[in-house]
Amino acid sequence: MPLDHDQIELIRANIRGLVKEFDLEYWRQKDKKKDYPWDFKDALAKGGWLGMFMPEQYGGMGLGLSEVGVVLNELGQHCGFNANSVFQYYVFPPGPVIHHGSAEMKAKYLPALARGEIMMCFGVTEPDCGVDTSRIKTFARRDGNRWLISGRKVWISNAQNADRILLLTRTAPRDPARPFDGVTLFFTQLRGKKGAQITAIDKAARNAVDSNEILFESFEAHDDEIVGEVGKGFRCLIDGLNPERIAVAYTTIGLGRGALNLTVQYAKDRIVFDRPIGKNQAVAHPLADSWIRLEAAELMTQKAARLFDEGKPCGPEANAAKFLGTEAGFQACDRAMQYHGGYSYATEYHIERFWRESRLLKIAPISQEMVLNFISDKVLRLPKSY
Ligand SMILES: Cc1cc2nc3c(=O)[nH]c(=O)nc-3n(C[C@H](O)[C@H](O)[C@H](O)COP(=O)(O)OP(=O)(O)OC[C@H]3O[C@@H](n4cnc5c(N)ncnc54)[C@H](O)[C@@H]3O)c2cc1C
């Protein structure tokens, strides 16, 4: 049952209250020092927000993507992408476990995730295959009553602090006729376990949440850690992809709004040629244009979220929302850079951080090109190009 307008506004007001303690300066320092925001994560946990998307039977709030989107939008706007990432890694990576995990797995780990007592990461991307996921090489080999996993993953966020990893492996060689078969998903202990060498990547943005290369060498996993069935892991993973795209759209619209709000204030305050720069239509019109594009992108995102929450197919809408949200969000941040002039480069104005963060979302978790590939192929039925 979707929440009504007043309930949604209550969520918004609660999040606005919570983020007052974690202002833009807090996030500037965390990003600069590459320091995981434990106090912010604890505040989310205390309010029950980390379990927002988790079914009530596992201790969560059991809310939908439409409500989660309100939180992502507010965090993006008032804090930036580091805050969204802290929240997001509790909301979407558990999806395959919720839908395909064994009863024991769910009972043991989902309530702990909802309370924020454990942390997880999501291990899909590999250095040698990029967006062509069926070509992953990380291989899980049977060895008596256990599995031994060897291979390399890259960009795995949260791995420095994660207790467990959702790890996509091959358990059979790739068959070109059925490229996504023979892939198995494990949900296994990562922290303190032999066989995983985790190296942080020095990156351009979202530095309070780490991203890592992980080298697996005979990393042990067990049958009771398999999500779904052996060889059918990709199907379990795919359930989580549409919500992730919708979430990214909400996030990047939030980033765009945050940058736009700062810029509108700056355009009123900054006097050049004896007048506020916002009096020039060359400044005002692009800001007005960004407001319109962010609103339009949010409508598509709300449509996608509503379809998802109603259990209806939403692939085209989720992809369109990700595309439109990212374009509008990044454009607003880029314009914010332009109209802050030289001060945009001073980190104390926070604009450059919004800009770096929104740029990332054109590339990850799915690139704009791959969204266009999806629409060309699956919606327009053009010959498949990839
Ligand atoms: C900060 C950060 C955090 C991340 N966190 C995680 C995480 O937690 N877990 C995880 O598994 N992954 C994570 N990723 C990985 C992310 O999902 C990938 O970087 C992203 O999917 C792109 O893959 P790639 O970098 O290998 O690009 P590539 O596959 O090398 O592609 C390079 C470019 O070529 C384009 N391209 C390739 N093929 C085609 C084609 N057929 N048609 C048109 N264009 C094409 C792509 O769109 C892209 O623009 C993260 C990445 C970053 C940067």
Residues 72 and 245 sit within 8 Å (Cβ to Cβ): no
Residue nearest to atom 20 of ligand 1 (CA): 364
Strand partners, 153: 214
pLDDT of residue 386: 86
Name the residue among 87, 94, 121, 89 with its Cα closest to residue 110. 94
Residues 53 and 113 sit within 8 Å (Cβ to Cβ): no
- Omega into 286 within 30° of 0, i.e. cis? no
Ligand 1 binding pocket mutation candidate from 131, 166, 373 (most atoms within 8 A of CB): 131
Q: Which atom of ligand 1 is nearest to the CA of 159?
A: 8
pLDDT of residue 6: 94
The pair of structure tokens assigned to 312 is 């209806």
Q: Which domains does the chain have, with CATH numbers?
A: 5-114 (1.10.540.10), 120-232 (2.40.110.10), 238-379 (1.20.140.10)
Strand partners, 188: 165
pLDDT of residue 3: 86
pLDDT of residue 165: 98
Helices (H), 225-314: 233-238, 241-269, 281-309
Strand partners, 156: 212
Rounded Cα–Cα distance for residues 324 and 334 (Å): 15
- How far, CA to CA in Å, does 19 sit from each of 75, 76, 91, 154, 295? 8, 11, 18, 31, 23
Q: Which atom of ligand 1 is nearest to the CA of 370?
A: 47
Phi, psi of 216 (to 5 degrees): -100, 130
What is the separation, in whole angstroms, between the first and last Cα of the chain? 39
Q: What is the mean pLDDT of each run of 10 residues along the chain (386 residues)?
A: 89 97 98 98 97 97 96 98 97 93 98 97 95 96 98 98 98 96 98 97 98 98 97 90 95 98 98 98 98 98 97 96 98 98 98 98 96 97 93
